[in-house]
Amino acid sequence: MSSASIKKIIPCKKNQLIEMVLDIEKYPEFVPWCLDGKIHEKKETDDLIEIKADLKVGKKFLNQTYTSFVLFDKNLDKIIVNNLDGPLKHLKNEWTFKEVNNSTQLIFDIDFELKNPILNKIMENSFEMGLKKIADAFEKRAIDIYK
């Protein structure tokens, strides 16, 4: 299983960054290797937002779609994502947001494992580089939109 953690200070308000992360259907516009994002269900209460969504990731002819359950806890300022279906054997990632002055401290933790052991081994070797590219893409998007 591959796992990593990234901590960044992003120059936007906490609520802006949370809104951007929950806007899954916009991911193909800025997230590397994301070809499509589709929200199937979204429920909101005073404390929680629950989303069931698909992401298609890969390249033009070599891609996979996985379904995830996204839970945003408004009281904890935390988004938790778990895999429901697709090429992943296991996925859990957590986004934690904390406002610091006029910026947001983002802590992103992820661990995952692909069902295909050969692809899983390949991913392990490039995981850190890929995760950094994705984190940088979120940061750049926030700066482009909110600065």
Exposed/middle/buried for residue 12 (C-beta within 10 Å: 0-12, 13-18, 19+):
buried
**Span 2-146 CATH architecture:** 2-Layer Sandwich (3.30)
Q: Given this model, what pLDDT does residue 126 score?
A: 73
CB 146, CB 13: distance < 8 Å = yes
Per the confidence metrics, is the pTM higher than 0.75?
Answer: yes
5 Cβ partners below 8 Å, 6+ apart? Answer: 107, 108, 109, 110
Task: Mean pLDDT check: name the lowest of 45-59, 88-102, 125-139.
Answer: 125-139
pLDDT at 137 over 70: yes
- pLDDT surpasses 90 at 113: no
Q: How do the domains of the chain map onto residue ranges? A: 2-146
